[in-house]
């Protein structure tokens, strides 16, 4: 069974641009969550989607948004990029909303210059 | 504010040593505690703990949860160089009905020298 797949794996953007990251969960998993990982802050929760609905959101500005499609694939978007948005963005999927183990993708490394 | 604190932040040992990693938490609506191992890629799942006092074991790794004292430990016996990684502790919370999210600690960087 394929794991969580994230694309692109690496990207470089300029301040002020916007970026869209994609995540395909493990087949059958309906919950997708996103995390930002930086050396200083560690792993921080961005948001979680289940059945195309955002159910939970972390403490990030409105520039960070996401969505989930009917096939459970998810995208996150960051608009008006800032240098501080440089990070590893991790997507994780889980079978349901019942606290099952969540599995992470390899992540998308974003560098903002 | 929900908080997960791991200690030590870093640790250097020799192959064959036994290590104990600590994770304490102060959260509301605790659901479960999870341990992950992260090398230079995605965190990989190790254990999920929901009940106090029941040890989970996988090979040389084991973990236990104390819900009264609000902490968990991860033990690694007979360490090998391949155990070198960041070990992450995360707490899953109930957040609005059956929803959940993970709050992570900053991790413990374990280096195992040959």
- For the segment B53-100, what is each residue's pLDDT rounded down to a tens digit? 889 999 999 999 998 999 999 999 999 999 999 999 999 887 665 556
A56 vs B41, B43, B96: nearest CB? B96
Burial of B45 (0-12, 13-18, 19+ CB in 10 A): middle
Q: What pLDDT does A67 receive?
A: 97
Mean pLDDT to the nearest integer, A89-106: 82
Nearest 5°: phi and psi at B84? -60, 125
pLDDT of A60 strictly over 90: yes
d(CA A13, CA A31): 28
| Vertex A94: Cα angle to A92 and A97 (nearest 5) | 125
pLDDT band with cut points at 50, 70 and 90 for residue A99: low
**3-state SS class at A60:** coil
The owner of tokens 């797949």 is A5
Mean pLDDT to the nearest integer, A42-66: 92
Q: How far is B111 from chain A (nearest CA, A)?
A: 17
| Preceding amide of A8 cis, omega within 30 | yes
Q: What pLDDT does B28 receive?
A: 84
- Summarised one tens digit per residue, pLDDT across range B7-27 is 999 999 999 999 999 999 998
Q: What pLDDT does B12 receive?
A: 98
Mean pLDDT to the nearest integer, A23-38: 93
Contact status of A106 with chain B (Cβ, < 8 Å): yes
**3-state SS class at B83:** helix
Mean pLDDT to the nearest integer, A44-50: 91
The DSSP bridge partners found for residue B100 are B94
β-strands A10-13, A108-112 pairing:
parallel
Q: Which of A27, A70, A35 lies closest to B102 in space, CA to CA?
A: A35
Better-predicted residue by pLDDT, A41 or B64: B64
What are the C-alpha distances in Å from A50 to residues A55, A102, B1, B17, B21? 7, 13, 25, 43, 33
pLDDT band with cut points at 50, 70 and 90 for residue B101: confident
**3-state SS class at B102:** strand
pLDDT of A44 strictly over 90: yes
Better-predicted residue by pLDDT, A10 or A39: A10
Q: How far is B44 from chain A (nearest CA, A)?
A: 7
Q: Does residue A91 contact residue A33 with C-beta atoms inside 8 Å?
A: yes
**Percent of chain A at pLDDT above 70?**
96
A55 vs B45, B99, B104: nearest CB? B99
Contact status of A66 with chain B (Cβ, < 8 Å): no
Contact status of A44 with chain B (Cβ, < 8 Å): yes
């Amino acid at each position: 069974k394929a794991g969580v797949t994230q694309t692109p794996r690496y990207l470089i953007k300029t301040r002020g641009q916007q970026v869209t990251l994609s995540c395909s969960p493990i087949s059958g998993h309906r919950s997708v969550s996103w995390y930002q990982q930086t050396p200083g802050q560690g792993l921080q929760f961005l948001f979680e989607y289940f059945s195309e609905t955002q159910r939970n959101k972390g403490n990030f500005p409105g520039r960070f948004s996401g969505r989930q499609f009917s096939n459970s694939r998810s995208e996150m978007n960051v608009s008006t990029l800032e240098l501080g948005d440089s990070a590893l963005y991790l997507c994780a999927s889980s079978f349901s909303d019942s606290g099952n183990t969540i599995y992470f993708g390899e992540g998308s490394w974003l560098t903002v210059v | 504010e929900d908080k997960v604190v791991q200690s030590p932040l870093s640790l250097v040992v020799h192959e064959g040593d036994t290590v104990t990693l600590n994770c304490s938490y102060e959260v509301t609506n605790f659901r479960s505690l999870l341990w992950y191992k992260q090398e230079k890629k995605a965190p990989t799942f190790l254990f999920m703990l929901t009940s106090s006092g029941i040890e989970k074991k996988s090979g040389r790794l084991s973990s236990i949860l104390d819900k009264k004292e609000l902490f968990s430990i991860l033990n690694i016996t007979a360490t090998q160089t391949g155990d070198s990684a960041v070990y992450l502790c995360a707490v899953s919370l109930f957040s609005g009905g059956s929803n959940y999210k993970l709050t992570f600690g900053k991790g413990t960087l374990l280096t195992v020298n040959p």
